[in-house]
Each structure stands twice: as structure tokens, then as C-alpha cells.
Structure 1
């Protein structure tokens, strides 16, 4: 549902706060523990806050689905949560000293989260290896993003590669080669080959695994990494992390490396991990892969639009062009309308 932030109410006890949409949310039961009062007291004060219009209910309350224990069972329920404004307003009425303490803590947490992009509970992570491993995996995923990898490699080049020239063809080729060496090591396919092999309008989400919206965009369909499975992605993250660590170490040590030295290290890294090395790079099929991705995406979107029109699509009939009678209606539906339609379906 959200990022859970534990708020310490004593040396050995804490209350979980949910961080969503740049603010904190908590249940009435949580507020009762936070201020050490009965839930009925919390409910009474909240009623007064809303009756006097100090705060509006619609802006203050949201329902989130949480898991609650009921005897030996776990039951999912939609439970009302109250935001930071409600917590502070309540704190003035219940116990001003504790409210002041909470406001100071909440302001510090929010400031750190907004400024740095994260808040770390070091004590909890030290005592919970599983949570620490999950955090490490998430950081590894973020660092393995092409933008971050290439930025770090670029810094390594600037400091360490004696023959580095940012605008040279060799540098541009190395960036493309780096990406495809990782793809080939994991799947025995380059980025273009991944698209040719896995992009298909008949597949769920046209074969893509990673995409932002409810269904993939045309641009996302043209990115080979988006077709990698969860396991393949994680293995690529591990390789990327190892290469980044070398790049950072080389930069700090001011090693005098050439472009060929860096390429050789990448090959050695792949061999050390038991992966095949992709040599003699030239992407002969990139144009074909881009055309294939666009063509499959257009067909995929057409089917989604037909389904939006309430038409049950038969793939064989679609391949034969038997739905072209709906072409005007299909073309009249924008991608934005299609996304809104799918969002509405998901909320049902």
C-alpha cells in the first residue's frame, strides 16, 4: 500500500505510519497509541475538529486496504486513515507536549524524504537482514538504470581513460555495446534481437514485462530491456552493479586506463560470472527491430480499442483484416481515452 515509517513512542515500541502522496497517514487506533489515550477519545476529538470545520473530512480521511488479525486468521479490510494535519490538530487537544514532539519528528522525516528521496531506519535494517536485502536489491535496481550506469561510466572515462573523447564514435559505440553485452550475457540476444523475438501483439502486454502505464507505450515497446523477465533483470542488475563498483574504484584510484582496457574489464567480468561474451558488435537489425516494435504496438492498441468498443476480437479474424469496418471508430479513440477506460475498469 505504502512506505511504512515507524515512529518510536518508547525505547522498545513504535507506531507504523504510512507515507503516501508526500504526507503521513495513520488509523484512529494508531493515533490512540501515539498519544496514549483511548480510541473513543480520539474519535470524539476528531468529531469536534470536523464539526468546527478546522479541517475538512474529505481532505483529511482516506481509506486504505490493510491486513488485520482476527483470531488465527488474517483479514483484509478498508480502514480509514487520517493525514498529518489531523494528527497535529488532534495533538493540540490531547497532549501538547507529545504533539510537539511528534511535529518535530514528522517535519524532520518529511524534510529528509523530500530532499534526499529516502528515509532510512538504520536500527531496523541492522536487526532485519531480510529488509536490508530488499533495500539493497531496490538500490541495485535503481543504480542499474541505463542513465545511472552510463553516467558513472562517463565519470570513469573522464578521470581514467587517457584516450577519452566524449564526442568520438568509439565512446558512443561503447555505450551501445555495454548495454548489449549485458543483454546478450543474460539472454544470448542483443536488445534488437530481444524486440524481434519477444514483441508480439498477441501476447499479454505485447510481451513487455516492464512499463509505466496500464499498458505499454510505443516508446517502451522499442526498448529491449523492457522485455526481460524479473529473473533476467535481477541478474543484469548484479552485473551492472559489479561494473559500477569497478568504475567508481578506478575513478577514485585515478587509474590510467584506455577505452580498450575498460572494454576488456567488462569482458573479464562477464567471463568471471560465467556469462558468454558478445564480440564484433554491429547492430544490423536495429531498424527492423524498431519497425517490428511499432507495427506490433499498433496492432496491440487496435485490439484494445476494439475491446473498448465492446467487440470480442478473434485473433484469426483480426489477422485477416475483418475488423477494418471499425477503422473510423478505432482511429477516433485516443491513447488518453484508452488509458482512462482501462483505469476505470481496474477501479471496478
Structure 2
């Protein structure tokens, strides 16, 4: 899809707030002031949450923050300023921390808008469709499957479904428990461990790639090491993808058929889906390893692994230099006899 800016107008249900929402790069973007208006808190409050989200590693800066020019009034003058904007992932994360009903409503609206743009972008991409043949559809299907089964986007998708509950409120203990356990229930069904337990079992400074089987970019980062899915073998990942796809298809069907569902219904359906329908092991507790314990261990292993990698590269360079020197000496002519 071509990268272009579009302005969408969003108005809260009570009509008190109207926002100009920037659409670009298949996401929506708001400034800190926009978020403060939306969530009805101070800009300082928004800024503090954003800084904490970055500091804690929940989101990375580069993909979630961009600078756009905005025209605003300053001292009676209209001036154009380059202002930091944040994408939907950040807006959602801040909304959770503020615990705002308005944040939930905005997320639902924004998700609908993004889906509409994605559909339009697909229909209008006639050139690639004409020249790409059947591969175009295969690539698109695989891309959608990967997005839906990735841990990060999977939670956004499940949240969209769960938020359709008649009695949904993000602050409700049932909602918090659901989102706190759903990842672990899927992992446990596949390999018998929670996400934290799996990482603790498989991470190791002396293992190839520290035990990871995949990571996001060319170089493995600490953030990659915190993601349980990155430690799965091929067959485990395939089973997880199929299980997640199956659950999301079932969940979306309930929404399409407009079946009234309460939060307790979704909790029950998930357990039935895993334990009864698929006859897989069902997690009954929170597991033996906390996320804090896991992160502390991963940090320790990552630092040791990085240090070992540096030393190995240094030794390799020294060995290469020594062999080069030996080869050079062998090529020198023998000394002349006196």
C-alpha cells in the first residue's frame, strides 16, 4: 500500500471530544496532546506513561513514534511545528495504564478503520494482482496468518473479540485474568509449559543462539529473548499457529453471528476449545515461574552469551591473524647461505 497521510475524524460517544487522527503506514497516530484529550488526563500523565512503556521494554521507540508537521495556534498565530505522534500500539498501551473506557472505545473504532483501509488497499492493488498470479494470494494468506498468530498481534485480535462481551470492562477482574492467562493456556496446550517456564527451560548462554530458534531482525536482542514463541521448534510453532487460527476463527464466528457473549462465556469457551474440542492439556494454575523471574534469568544469560560471543570473535580474529602471519612467513624466500 502506498504511504500517504490521511486525516480521519473521531468523535467520542458523548460528543465532548473531536480529534483529527492521522493515518499512515497502516496505523493511526496521535500526539501526546491528542491522547490527553482522548483519555481526559494531563499531557504530563501521558508523557509519563509513554516513558515508562519505553523504559520497561513493552514497546520500542522506532516503530511506535514518528514526527509529523501539525498546524497549531500559538499566541494568536498559526504556525507549523514538527510534533511527535504515536501509533495505535502505543495508544492502546497508554489506554490500558490509564484504565480508560474512552481508550477502549477508540481502539475499537481505530481497528475498524484500519481493517477498512487494508481491504481497500488489497482491492486497489491491481498491478501486483495482475502480475503476481496465484503467488499474490498465497503471500497475502501467509502474511495474514503470521500476523494473526504472532504473540503481539494475537493479543490485539483476542482483545477485539473479548471486548465485544456484553459486560466487558477492562478493569474487571475477569478481563484482567483472561488476558493474563490466555497466552499461557495456548503455550501449555502445545508443550506443557507456561511461556515463562518454557523460556527458563530452554534459554542458555552456551547454547546455539542462546536457545532461540528465531528472532525479529538480523541481530538477536534481549527483547527477542523475552518472547516464548522464539524458542519453539518448527513443529511446535506450526501447531501453535494452527491452534490460534482455529480459536480466532471460532471467536470471529460468534461475533459474525451476533451471538451475545459475556466475559465468563469466553473464559469457558477457551477452556472447552483447548481441553475438550482439541483434547490438549489445559493449564489449571499460574505456573511455577513468574515473568519477573524469567526476565531476570534471561538478562543474566544474555549478558553472558554476549560476552562469550565477543570473546569468540576476538579469538577468531587473533587466530586468523596468526595463520595469515604463518602463511606469509612460509612464502618468504629462505635466507641465503653465507
Out of 292, 301, 306, which is 1:296 matched to?
Answer: 301
Distance 1:267 1:120, change over 3 A: farther
Return the TM-score normalized by structure 2: 0.51
Out of 171, 180, 183, which is 1:167 matched to?
Answer: 171
SS for the counterpart of 1:309 is: helix
Superposed structure 1 runs of 4+ greater than 6 Å apart = 131-134
1:167 shift after superposition: 2.8
Matched with 2:146 is 141
2:195 pairs with 1:191: yes
2:213 pairs with 1:209: yes
Distance 1:156 1:238, change over 3 A: same
1:147 shift after superposition: 3.2
Cα distance in 2, alignment partners of residues 227 and 144 from structure 1: 15
For structure 1, the 5+ residue unaligned runs are 1-110, 314-348
For structure 2, the 5+ residue unaligned runs are 1-119, 319-338
| Contact 1:152 1:247 survives alignment (8 Å) | no
SS for the counterpart of 2:315 is: coil
Matched with 2:79 is none
Cα distance in 2, alignment partners of residues 256 and 279 from structure 1: 27
Cα distance in 2, alignment partners of residues 174 and 121 from structure 1: 44
CA deviations on 1:85-142 (whole Å, 9 max, x unpaired) are xxxxxxxxxxxxxxxxxxxxxxxxxx968x87x94469943xx8xx966764443222
| Contact 1:199 1:207 survives alignment (8 Å) | yes
Matched with 2:258 is 254
Query: How many pairs were matched up?
Result: 197
Distance 1:226 1:264, change over 3 A: same
| Contact 2:200 2:294 survives alignment (8 Å) | yes
Cα distance in 2, alignment partners of residues 142 and 268 from structure 1: 25
Cα distance in 2, alignment partners of residues 232 and 269 from structure 1: 18
Q: What pairs with 1:1-348 in structure 2 (closer than 5 Å)? A: 119-120=128-129, 124-125=133-134, 136-159=141-164, 161-271=165-275, 272-281=277-286, 284-310=289-315
Tell which structure's C-alpha radius of gyration is larger. Answer: 1
| Contact 1:112 1:119 survives alignment (8 Å) | no
SS for the counterpart of 1:185 is: helix
- RMSD, aligned CA: 3.2
1:273 shift after superposition: 1.9
Cα distance in 1, alignment partners of residues 301 and 261 from structure 2: 43
1:288 shift after superposition: 1.6
| Contact 1:200 1:206 survives alignment (8 Å) | yes
1:307 shift after superposition: 2.0
CA deviations on 1:275-323 (whole Å, 9 max, x unpaired) are 111123356432221111111111110011112323699xxxxxxxxxx
Distance 1:258 1:297, change over 3 A: same
Cα distance in 1, alignment partners of residues 239 and 139 from structure 2: 15
Return the TM-score normalized by structure 1: 0.50
Distance 1:210 1:304, change over 3 A: same
SS for the counterpart of 1:201 is: coil
1:226 shift after superposition: 1.1
